[in-house]
A = this chain, B = another copy of it.
Amino acid sequence: MQSKDFTPDIFHLSIPVVAMDIVIFTVYRDTLCVVLMPGLRENSVGKLVLPGGIIAHGESLDTSFDRILEAKTGITGIYKEQLATFGDADRDTRGHVISVVYYALVDTNMFLDKIDMTKTILLPLSEVTTETIAYDHAKIILYARQRLEWKMGYTTIIKNILPECFTLSQLQHVYEVVFGKTFDKRNFRKKILALGIIEETGIKNKSSSKRPAELYRFSDKDVKMLAGIV
């Protein structure tokens, strides 16, 4: 079931239509970015939109997410969390569309080969404005960004935006990009290591032309709650 299966008349039934939009965050070239696509409808052309689609009858939210994500971006199997539901009657000029929004995190290296770069744009968060982005999607992205920052402060959610193995500097860098400030290297390492959430792999990163750094991984498969990472 694709969203194109739905003819415009579903927007004029006696009940609202339910859609899903997805805010995909990734760190690309040292910048926090969101995955967007060019708007293709008369009310979004010339602007960017979030990947999204209509939720089909009988389809669970998880199933919708997988279907819409893959159909729109080619990406599969990434970490997601429900963000919120936006339902103002005038947010889409086609009719009353209530949108259930998820946000997702992905390591850039894991999806750059899967996506079609002719239909997909990685927009830095600093360029997210209502001028460039259609509907209420700019508002949604900024709300998702808040939630991301919040969650990064007290869970290990960051693991989903990093490769399996990473250096402490890479880890610190992602925190710095998301929080928009720098941290002291010694205090950062002390704190992260004291939390016991990551472990050494014993491997060293030889890809830099500088002193090789120890690679770490998260000990736990799942996202864990913690008091005060940052």
Contacts and interface: CB of A to CB of B under 8 A. Distances in A.
A85 B57 contact: no
A18 B60 contact: no
B58 A96 contact: yes
Interface residues of A, number: 27
Interface in A148-167: none
A98 B10 contact: no
Main secondary structure of the interface of A (DSSP, over half): loop
A18 B61 CA distance: 13
A50 interface: no
Contacts of A96: 57-59
A61 B96 CA distance: 11
A76 interface: no
Given A18-B98, A55-B98, A60 B85 contact: no
A165 to B, nearest CB: 32
A15 interface: yes
A23 interface: no
A14 interface: yes
Nearest to A54: B15
Interface string A65-104: 0000000000000000010111111000000101010000
A17 interface: yes
Interface string A10-23: 10011111100000
Contact of A13 (B57, B64, B82): B57
Contacts of A61: 85-88, 98
18 contacts: A6-B14, A10-B14, A15-B15, A15-B18, A15-B55, A15-B57, A18-B87, A18-B98, A55-B98, A57-B89, A58-B96, A59-B96, A60-B89, A61-B87, A61-B88, A64-B87, A82-B84, A85-B85
Give 9 nearest A-B pairs by CB, closest first: A61-B87, A85-B85, A58-B89, A85-B100, A60-B88, A57-B96, A58-B96, A18-B98, A15-B57
